[in-house]
Amino acid sequence: MSTPVPPVASPPRALRWAVAGSVIVMIAAGGLFYYASNMASAKRQTNHDEVVVTIHPHSCEPNALTVPAGRASFRIVNRSDRAVEWEILDGVLVLEERENIAPGLSQVINANLLPGDYAITCGLLSNPRGTLHVTPTAASNAAAKARPSMVAFIGPLSEFRVYLNSQSNTLIKAVTALGQAIEAGDLSQAQALYVPARAAYQRLAPAAQRLAELDNAINARADYFDKREQDPGFVGFHRLEYALFQQRNLDGLTPVAQRLISDVTALKQQLLAQSLPPEQLVSVLVRNLNSLADVRAGSGEEERYSHTDLNGFAANLDATRKVVDLLRPLLSKSAAELLPTIDSAITAFDAELNGFKVKDGYASYDTVSPEQRKHITDKAKTLADALDGIDPALGLSGL
């Protein structure tokens, strides 16, 4: 006689609900994955022209690029262990750059490129440079034919050369006085003279930053050298700043000061020798203000030893105000509606900085709160955005 098989008990209700819930979760997860995949695909499609460059500790990948003329976007990914910069160079001139790209992060550089061959830098100043080949397009050829008459810009460009000459003379005089104080072994006097010398440079910075080699010698931070502050290639203003305000020691500093005097003298010569196309007169200001907002105002990286950043910001604003005044007659005729927006942005940025004025200049930047720094960056960004409308209004965009 066979043993009766006991009836199979139906699973408990809780178990049935658990199984059903698992199926629902799997379906939902699949749906989310499908949605995310579509979003990623759409993003890739949107950014299909974005060129990705990865910076490694001692190289870039790729280090030879080819793009069509016109607007190009480069996503710079930092896989090194320090903040770095990436630049596009036309001979000795910087066309576009992105500074202080943090380790593990990426930033995008948008550039409007004419056909030709350019060099690209790669993180540390000692790293090998790469190449960028820009091929002509029908649009770039048409833009070249449609280039507006340069006659209207002769006056502003000539006056800007006068400004560069005057400010260069002020810079040379200030750096010479600083060097004399260092040579005399007077630390307190050298510290006092560093501030006006640095401000004199910042009034030239938008134009000076086009000159890659000289700007690196005069203005490069320690981050961009293999051995940082101890690297023999670390010279210029920030090497002096490091000795004056952090080490508080003048030993061996005289040769560095003498080198800086020589470099700022050469800077004057090159600024006056290099022609500045009218389409770069405003773009150098915009790049400088964006750097102020994205890097310098937020972190205080520029003057990390002396904390005199606000003096530099005010000097940058002086240069911006000068160029706007030079272009004001042209804008009054071609784009009068832009001027109130630009003037309002200048006034707002100036008022923000004036709030930090003290008896001898500006407050130390390490006393400025994160919220206050955010206000400064917002004002700088607003001004950069307002200035960005000038070139299209004057027929200079796309050149």
CB distance 218 to 78 below 8 Å: no
Residue 10 has pLDDT above 80, yes or no: no
Q: Are 198 and 170 in contact (CB under 8 A)?
A: no
3-state secondary structure of 49: coil
What is the value of pTM for the model shown? 0.78
Q: Which residues, 6+ apart, have CB-to-CB distance to 369 below 8 Å?
A: none
Strands 70-78 and 50-56: parallel
Asked whether 85 and 97 are in contact (CB, 8 A), the reply is yes
Rounded distance between C-alpha atoms, residue 225 and residue 229, angstroms: 8
Whether the predicted pLDDT of 33 surpasses 60: no
pLDDT attached to residue 278: 86
Task: Give me the domains of the chain, ranges plus CATH numbers.
Answer: 50-145 (2.60.40.420), 151-393 (1.20.1420.20)
Tokens of 113: 């490129």
- Predicted confidence (pLDDT) per residue in 236-292, tens digit: 999 999 999 999 999 999 999 999 999 999 999 999 998 888 888 899 999 999 988
pLDDT at res. 398: 52
Q: Give me the pLDDT at residue 397, please.
A: 67
Question: How much of the chain exceeds pLDDT 70, in percent?
Answer: 84
- Average pLDDT in the 173-184 region? 98
pLDDT digits (tens, 9 = 90+) for 294-307: 877 766 678 999 99
Structure confidence at residue 39 as a pLDDT band (50, 70, 90): very low
Of the listed ranges 240-249, 323-332, 343-352, the one predicted with least confidence: 323-332
Q: Give the pLDDT band (50/70/90) at residue 15.
A: very low
How much of the chain is helix, strand and coil, in % rounded to 5? 60, 15, 25
For the cut 90, the answer to whether the pLDDT of residue 229 exceeds it is: yes
Structure tokens at 251: 């030993």
pLDDT at 48: 53
Residue 74 and residue 88: Cα distance in Å, rounded?
A: 10
Q: What is the pLDDT of residues 202-218, one digit of tens each?
A: 999 999 999 989 999 99
> What digits encode the pLDDT tens for the residues 100-147?
888 999 989 888 888 999 999 988 888 899 999 999 988 877 766 655
d(CA 239, CA 364): 19
User: How far is the C-alpha of 181 from the C-alpha of 199, rounded, in Å?
Assistant: 17
Q: For the residues 213-231, what does the mean pLDDT come to? A: 93
Among 191-195, 197-201, 335-339, whose mean pLDDT is lowest? 335-339
47: left (phi over 0), alpha (psi -120 to 50) or beta: alpha
Contact 122, 86 (CB under 8 A): yes
* pLDDT for residue 167: 97
Q: To the nearest whole number, what is the mean pLDDT of the chain?
A: 86
When comparing pLDDT for 172 and 150, which is higher?
172
